[in-house]
Amino acid sequence: DQSGMAYSVGTTLDRFIKLKQSDFPFASGELSQLLRDIALAAKIVNRETNRAGLANIGGAFGQTNVQGEEQQKLDVIANIRFMRALSKGGEVCAIVSEEEDAVIDLQNNSGKYVVAIDPLDGSSNIDVNISIGTIFSIYRRKTPIGSPIQEEDVMQPGTEQVAAGYVLYGSSTMLVYTTGFGVNGFTYEASLGEFFLSHPNIEAPKNGKIYSINEGLEKSWTDGIKDYIGFCKSEQLSARYIGSLVADFHRNLLKGGIYLYPGTQSNPNGKLRLLYEANALAFIAEQAGAKATDGNQRILEIQPTSLHQRTPLYIGSDKMVDEALRRIARHKQII
């Protein structure tokens, strides 16, 4: 960071954002405010997530759902909470959400940012108490402020991101994000309602001993992926697959490792979404000195053509992604 100030562990997120804003001499504080709006929504979703287990037996504890409605799915609640925080914050003009078929136009033509978000990824893991996550990307709108939202505002390649991050609702709740000047991790202290800097300047190990892939789909893998996973096994690496993207990604980012969700014959673009899953994690990965590819190109260089398009995703430690690419390429040449 240009201010050369070392950020001491324990700095609050608010103070960190303010200090980092000085890295952007012409910053007017809108991005800072947007990051605070996201952190607020994360705190609310964290509380809902922690209570979800009891909500279904809320009656027994005298806690009925405030609307008196039957308990909504947690990913629906998370979507409502993030939408509300982003529209109230006033900095955002459009949102692409995993939970919404179409672009949400906030009719806020003074908002200069566009957000792509998966409010709660892996929500099928909630009922069995496995960690889940929020994933978000922030772009500057392309069309002039004050004019109506256009498709080009939301169909931007990942290289255009001004910020990206994720919230991991795990054994502790963390917010990890980048604005293009490195990656920093904050841990939430619920009793104080604050995120504290706990992982300054995260740098992914260049190599690792963990590979994450759903081995149940082995029959559908291409020869290149079969070759690479065979290599991982011959190297006796550890297979670690939680089935929750943010949790698998975060562990590999800190410890070193690779996460793979390949395309298959039936789903050549795999399962994961480009706009609100792969792009954000790819930006963070590259900012932490790691790599993210679809097997042919950097994830960040993919020019989106539809909101909910999927992409194969190979993401993690530099040398591991390179080895996977080498073996994928080798099999392509054979054909």
Known binding positions: 98, 118, 120-124, 214, 241, 259-261, 271, 277
Considering only 140, 199, 240, 271, the residue that binds ligand P6P (CB under 6 A) is 271
Using CB under 6 A as the binding rule, whether residue 240 contacts ligand P6P is answered as no
Of 26-34, 118-126, 166-174, 321-329, which segment contacts ligand P6P by CB under 6 A? 118-126
Minimum distance between the CB of residue 88 and ligand P6P, rounded to whole angstroms? 28
Considering only 83, 245, 260, 307, the residue that binds ligand P6P (CB under 6 A) is 245
**Count of alpha carbons within 13 angstroms of residue 272, beta-carbon side:** 31
Are 96 and 307 contacting, i.e. CB atoms less than 8 angstroms apart? Answer: yes
Q: Using CA atoms, how far apart are residues 162 and 34, in angstroms rounded to an integer?
A: 12
Using CB under 6 A as the binding rule, whether residue 214 contacts ligand P6P is answered as yes
Using CB under 6 A as the binding rule, whether residue 244 contacts ligand P6P is answered as yes
Are 168 and 195 contacting, i.e. CB atoms less than 8 angstroms apart? Answer: no
Q: Using CA atoms, how far apart are residues 217 and 132, in angstroms rounded to an integer?
A: 22
Nearer to ligand P6P, 29 or 243 (CB): 243
Using CB under 6 A as the binding rule, whether residue 33 contacts ligand P6P is answered as no
How many angstroms separate the Cα of 59 from the Cα of each of 49, 67, 70, 266?
18, 13, 11, 45
Nearer to ligand P6P, 77 or 245 (CB): 245
Nearer to ligand P6P, 219 or 333 (CB): 219
Using CB under 6 A as the binding rule, whether residue 163 contacts ligand P6P is answered as no
Footprint on residues 62-81 left by ligand P6P (CB under 6 A)? none
Minimum distance between the CB of residue 126 and ligand P6P, rounded to whole angstroms? 11
Q: Using CA atoms, how far apart are residues 129 and 131, in angstroms rounded to an integer?
A: 7
Using CB under 6 A as the binding rule, whether residue 124 contacts ligand P6P is answered as yes
Of 22-30, 69-77, 117-125, 281-289, which segment contacts ligand P6P by CB under 6 A? 117-125
Of 56-64, 86-94, 151-159, 241-249, which segment contacts ligand P6P by CB under 6 A? 241-249
Considering only 10, 243, 268, 296, the residue that binds ligand P6P (CB under 6 A) is 243
Judged by CB under 6 A, the number of residues near ligand P6P is: 9
Minimum distance between the CB of residue 309 and ligand P6P, rounded to whole angstroms? 14
- The rounded radius of gyration (Å) of the Cα atoms in the chain is 20
Q: Using CA atoms, how far apart are residues 21 and 328, in angstroms rounded to an integer?
A: 42
Nearer to ligand P6P, 125 or 187 (CB): 125
Of 173-181, 192-200, 243-251, 312-320, which segment contacts ligand P6P by CB under 6 A? 243-251
Footprint on residues 247-266 left by ligand P6P (CB under 6 A)? 248
Nearer to ligand P6P, 243 or 268 (CB): 243
Q: Using CA atoms, how far apart are residues 135 and 77, in angstroms rounded to an integer?
A: 15
Minimum distance between the CB of residue 73 and ligand P6P, rounded to whole angstroms? 13
How many angstroms separate the Cα of 54 from the Cα of each of 41, 63, 121, 130?
21, 9, 20, 15
Using CB under 6 A as the binding rule, whether residue 270 contacts ligand P6P is answered as no
In which residue are the tokens 């001499």 written? 25
> Residues interacting with ligand P6P, by CB under 6 A?
121-122, 124, 214, 243-245, 248, 271
